[in-house]
Amino acid sequence: MTGAKRKKKSMLWSKMHTPQCEDIIQWCRRRLPILDWAPHYNLKENLLPDTVSGIMLAVQQVTQGLAFAVLSSVHPVFGLYGSLFPAIIYAIFGMGHHVATGTFALTSLISANAVERIVPQNMQNLTTQSNTSVLGLSDFEMQRIHVAAAVSFLGGVIQVAMFVLQLGSATFVVTEPVISAMTTGAATHVVTSQVKYLLGMKMPYIS
């Protein structure tokens, strides 16, 4: 009798801890929302308005991407790349209708802080002026791109780690006045960083 109970208990335990095919599919649908909405996408009703919206956003992202690339202290063409991939990633992993993905002015300034520290402007005269085989960029510009790419990759690793540890719920601890102060300070920082360009002044970079 004891052996039968143990066998029944072990079978129940293995059944509870063995992932079924349906469980795996449900987990993938929760983590990859594109698997849930793409099969039910109505081409007849949604294709035309989505195409028009995509064209309008693409036109906006051209100028916005170039501006954010300048804020990041990298070549402007890489701002277009930075505007393309976030939209693709959101289409696959995005869950919220109000989530803003892509490049931001504040993150661009933070990236520029690392770029200007590691590859300052005075290093431009020390590097070779010959163009590289990548988009005709100089060695100085490629060094800055490498630093910005490393910072972006590190930020992505941190976000993935936060996702694995389910740290998104920590945002509920932050109070509304703190969030308002952060957004106001970020907006002020972005505006003041562009005053020198508005006035045509050449000032050294200050982090």
With b for 16 or more beta-carbon neighbours within 10 A and e for fewer, the 136-146 pattern comes to ebbbbbbbbbe
Average pLDDT over residues 160-184: 82
Average pLDDT over residues 6-30: 64
Instruction: Report the C-alpha gap between 130 and 139 in whole angstroms.
Output: 7
Hey, is 76 helix, strand or coil? Answer: coil
Average pLDDT over residues 137-156: 88
Name 198's Cβ contacts closer than 8 Å, sequence gap at least 6.
Answer: none
Specify whether the backbone of 136 is left (phi greater than 0), alpha (psi in -120 to 50) or beta.
left
Specify whether the backbone of 135 is left (phi greater than 0), alpha (psi in -120 to 50) or beta.
left
Average pLDDT over residues 127-138: 59
Task: Please name every residue paired with 138 in a beta bridge, in sequence order, or none if there are none.
Answer: 131
pLDDT surpasses 90 at 101: no
Residue 18, both tokens: 């063995």
Average pLDDT over residues 87-105: 78
Average pLDDT over residues 152-165: 87
pLDDT band at 48 (very low <50, low <70, confident <90, very high): very high
User: Highest-confidence range of 6-20, 79-93, 142-156, 166-180, by mean pLDDT?
Assistant: 142-156
Question: What integer pLDDT is reported at residue 17 of this predicted model?
Answer: 54
DSSP state, residue 2: H
Computed over every residue of the chain, the mean pLDDT equals 79
pLDDT surpasses 60 at 131: no
Identity of the amino acid at 57: L
Kindly report the pTM of this predicted structure.
0.70
Instruction: Report the C-alpha gap between 64 and 56 in whole angstroms.
Output: 12
pLDDT of 74-93, one tens digit each? Answer: 888 888 888 888 888 888 88
Pick from 80-89, 111-120, 150-159: least confident:
80-89
Question: What integer pLDDT is reported at residue 126 of this predicted model?
Answer: 61
Residue 47, both tokens: 């294709």
Identity of the amino acid at 162: M
Q: Widest CA span of the chain, in angstroms?
A: 90
Query: Which one is predicted more confidently, 103 or 207?
Result: 103
Share of the chain above pLDDT 70, in %: 82
Residue with tokens 């208990």: 9
Which one, of 115, 135, 138, lies nearest residue 126 by Cα?
138
Instruction: Report the C-alpha gap between 14 and 83 in whole angstroms.
Output: 47
pLDDT band at 14 (very low <50, low <70, confident <90, very high): low
